[in-house]
Structures are given as C-alpha cells and as structure tokens.
Structure 1
Amino acid sequence: MRAAVYHGPRDIRVEDRPEPELTAPTDALVRVTHTAVCGSDLWFYRGDSDRDVPSTVGHEPMGIVEAVGDDVRSVGPGDRVFAPFKISCGSCEFCRKGLHTSCTDGDGWGGDNGGAQGEKINCPHADGTLVRVPDRYADDEAALRSLLPLTDVMGTGHHAAVSAGVGAGDTCVVIGDGAVGLCGVLAARRLGAERIIAVGHHEDRLDIAREFGATATVADRGDAAVERILELTHGGAAHVLECVGAASSMDLAAAVCRPGGTVGYVGVPHGLDDGLDLFSFFGDNVTLRGGVAPVRAYAEELMADILRGTLDPAPVFTETVDLEHVADGYRAMDERAAIKVLVEV
C-alpha cells in the first residue's frame, strides 16, 4: 500500500509499505478514504519534537471497513467509519469515565497499524475506537467532509469549551485562530455562549471565526491584546479557551480570565521550557482544566448535530490534496498558507 512516511524535518515521502493485517479478534481492517494533516503534525515536521526515522504518520482516519476480527460487534465489512486520534478499548476505568485518552490499553496511529495517512489501517479495539457513520450518509461527500474534523480538531475545540465551563448566555474568549481555535468558537456557540471573542493574528482566519459565531475578534498582540479583550469583556471573561499551547497564549489566558473563572486548555504544550507562571492563576483563583481531548467521548453527540445540519466545521479545511501530494499539504500548513489540509486517499 501507499503511505506517507517521515524521513526527517520537512521530509515527508509517499512510499510503498506493507499492508497492515488483523492481529487480534478485536481488530478491524479499514481502507482509508479521507484523512488530514494536523497542526500537531508540524512539531515533528519542523524538527521540534522527536520521531523515529522512518515512520508512518497521520492520526485522523476515515474509511470503509474491509474485515473484522471474530469478537468485533459494532462495525462490519462495508461500514463507513472514522476514528479518533487515539485508540481506546472503550471498557476500562478511564474509557467508562469518558477519558479515552487515558485508556489503560490505548495506543496511537503508526507502526504496525499503518499510520492514518495511508491507504489502510488496522484498528485495534475496533468496538472502543471506531465510530460508525449512518448508512444514508456513507457516500455523502459533503457530510463526510464535515464529519472528518471529529477525528481531532472539532472534538478538541469542544473539549476546550466544556473544560472552560461555557454555557447558555456566557461570555467567553477563544485564544488561537488555528483549526482547534476555530472549532472552539463553533463549540462555544453550540453550548449557547452569547458573546464569543476570538483572538488570533490572521485576518482571514478571524473572518472564519466570525462566520462560526464570534461576536468580536482581536488581532492585537501582547499588552494591546490584553487591553482590548478586557475592554470588550468589561474586566475579563469567566470562560477562556486556550487553543495554542504556547507560553504566550497561556499568559494571555490568565490575564483575561475573570477572577474565579476557568481556563479550558487544549493546545499541545510547546515553548514552556522555563515553566508556566502559575501565580496569576493562584492570585485570582482561576481554575485550569483540560488537557489532551478525549474526542471519542464527544463523537456521537457532535456527529448528530453535524448530520442534522446545526454544526459544520468543514470550513477549517482550506486546502485539499491527494495522498501522493500530502507533502504539499504539510508545506502549506507549515507556511500558514492553509488552516487545515484534507487528504483524499
């Protein structure tokens, strides 16, 4: 099969790789039809995080089930499915609590299971991991494009909003104009927020934030951004979504969170080598909640809204490539020429 393979910083190649096979009765073999390039993929792509060379890449698969192990009950051959970025058993203590990312037998995509930016994957724990798309939407390309962000960014943005405690009538601040931040705006609107201030540095992305429901946008940096947000929120917001993971974005979140408020953080941490200054959180009794998003826990409820037409994260895909040109997709995101790249396999 063909699959994207990492060979070092800014070196992604599409190569022939062995096809994955069923290895356990709980596995499912899936032919991938859609996948994506994630902002977190850029950390190894840029050489900012370690990764084996060579190694298959990708963690946002959607496709058609080709075969299942004898113990699989929730999906069968021919079913359209998508999978979160983490593999989970669905039955351990943490999966039962909705914390699938802490599954006691969890795993990621890559290695022997094929990597998700390739033609096939083997999914361990198929019943706990795969989400089946209703048959009537199985070949609806528009619906599939809208569902694909549930593998990661839409569920992650939703986790930020839930962690920040966003509810009906609230005012919130969303920090970050990448795919996760934009999905955080969608999630805040879905949860009933009345005022949503989106913060970022790219006007084209902030335009999408407004389309997604942001009632105001802030493109300033540093102290100017803090002043503008405090002005818009009359002293700070009780609910702040941190969707970047940088030290500067965490500092901004603390600065604009109202005393007694909550910061929901989902940005993959980077640039925090000197540690995080917790004094501002401590001094104002600001709660810090979040972490890596258990997107499997949110998949069915978000899918229901997408299929009924009340939620659509598809506009985060601003470029589409085929598998053979996936390196172009990485390059576009690295150069900020694309927000998120959809890969057709």
Structure 2
Amino acid sequence: DKTPEGGAPILVGNVRASQVQAQTGQDNAWVPEPQGNALQFDGTDDCVKLCNDKLATTGDLTMEAWVNVGVGDGKDPHDSMCIIDYHRSEDSRCTLGLSRGAGGSGDDETLYKVSAGVWKQAVQTKNATVSPGEWTHLAAVYNATNALQLDGRGYVDCGNDATLDMTEAMTVEAWVTVAATPPKEPQVILSKWRAVAEEQSWRLYIDTDGKPCFETLDHNRRVTRVKSSEPLEAGRAYHLAGVFAASPKEEVALTLNGTSDYVRIPNDDAINFGKDDDFTVAAWIKPAPEQQDTAHSANSIIEKWSGRGSYPYAIRYLNQADTVDRGRLWAARSDRKISASVRSEKRLDDGA
C-alpha cells in the first residue's frame, strides 16, 4: 500500500543516535495511511526487536511496518536489511526486511524487494515493490495453526452426515495454496464421497493439470463435474468454492434493483458479533446493472445497521449515480467510535 500525499509519519526517534525503547499496544482503528511515530534506520545493523515476554507465542503472527528508504544520505546500506526481528527461541525466529535489487538480471539496484522468513526459511516478493523516498506499508503473515498441509496424500473427509447431502443448494469452499508442481493424481481438498446408489456425494479437488474441480454424484450415480478454465499459481493462496444448486429454478441468487429488495440481518445473539470478532458475510447476488433508485449512490444488499447494540455492518452496491466506482461493492463496519470501509476492485454491473 502507498500513502496519499501528506500521509507521512512524524520522525520521533533516530536509532543511530541512541537506544530507543517504545511501548507497543493494540490500535483501536485501522487507518489507510501512517500516523504518528517513526524510527530512522541507517540500513546496516539496526532493527526493531520484539520482546518475547510482551507477545503471546500462539504460533500465528502478523508483522507490519510503514517504511521509507532514504535517498542520498551518504550512507551505503547493506543489500539486505532487517526491519523487524522476533527471536522467540533458539530454533524459532521471524523477520521482515528488504533486499536491494537482488534477484535476476535487469533488476533495478535502486529498488527494494520485500523479504520475510522464519527459521532457515525465507520468501521474497517476485518484483521490486519499494522505491526510495516513498512511504510503503509492509506486512508478513506467519500462519502456524490454521492451515492444513495436504501434500497429495491427505484431505478433509466430511463424513457421511445426512445434513451434508445434496438435498438443498450447497456451497463447498476452502482456502488453499497449491504446491510448485501439479499433482500426479487428483488432489482432494474436501470430500463427502461414498460411491453407492443410495447416497449423494461430492468433492472439491485439484486435477492433474493444476485446475480446481468440483464434482457431484447423485442417487442415480450420475457424475456432474465443473472445472476451472485456468490453473492455480503455485505458492499463491486461493479461495475455492464449488456451488451445487438443487433447485430446478434458473435463478438461485438475489436479484437486486435498488429499491427495497435487500437482506436485513436482525439483532439476534446467534448472529451478533463484537468489535473484536472475526466473521464472514457472504451471498450470491445478481444486481441489476441499471438500478431503479439512484437517490443515493449506494443501494443496500445486506444490512445490519441498527446504530445501537451489537457491531453493525453493511454491504452495498454502487449504482450509476457513482460515476467513478459504479458497479463495485462497498462494505463497512462501525461501532460509533471507529469505522472501516472498503470498495471492491472488480465491477459487478455486467448482469452476471
């Protein structure tokens, strides 16, 4: 992420001049540009070291920092520089840093690549992404507990529970990262597969050409298969979803025209979330490209916006009144004190 003009932090400490101690905590808001404190590094041997006794070592960790590589200060920094160092134990260490123009031929020596690593392992961005003199937000996520490594042998067996039969419309989804080479045999990710006549089965898998597939088997032993047109890129995280529509109707999505047709989520303890809770709101929709109500530039799709009680949220469609972002989605959360919103990169005004 790049900062807008005027969004630079205030320089409050120079680690070359003295040893600096700072108390860190949890911010109560996420802002799109850095505000407040900054430390100056000379790019040689100084970095922010995180204290073991101040951080819970649950396994999962996110490191982030706003950085600005100096230009023309008379220094000759190393090709690799550490920004954040978290040394948990003798065999457990996480780092976030920069590498100057390292890579193949043609790399610009004035640009920097982002590097992150754990003990004896490291990854680096493919393209140079950090330019001197610009504030850039860096982040590295170390996930040690929430991922399953399938490696061509294991998969998630969803059992034979009747609630997972294909009697109603169903979506099967998972976050996956594929290996460097396509599997020699289909790599199953999620499966409820019992190939007998009286049972209904399905599976989500990666085929031998690297393309994701969703396959179903009905009571009559008929196999229905859908397959992606593009293979997955190795090392990249993807959200895969297989959708089974049991209804014979052609329309299985919400058709929204911008008047009063939207989903309103009530206040209920079962679906109320606190401001520190993670949750997902999802729906298949088909918004009309030309919305009927353009009094406001955003038409509701899903709303839980009571203005009181639990943490509210909203997903809205930007109609033709928004000449810049028409066709995109806008999502927001708020608890009176803080709010955050995001707009989709892709447009949905093609009628799909």
If the length of structure 2 is used for normalisation, what is the TM-score? 0.28
| Greater percentage in strand | 2
Higher RCO structure, 1 or 2 (CA under 8 Å, sep 6+): 1
Between Structure 1 and Structure 2, whose CA radius of gyration is higher? 2
If the length of structure 1 is used for normalisation, what is the TM-score? 0.28
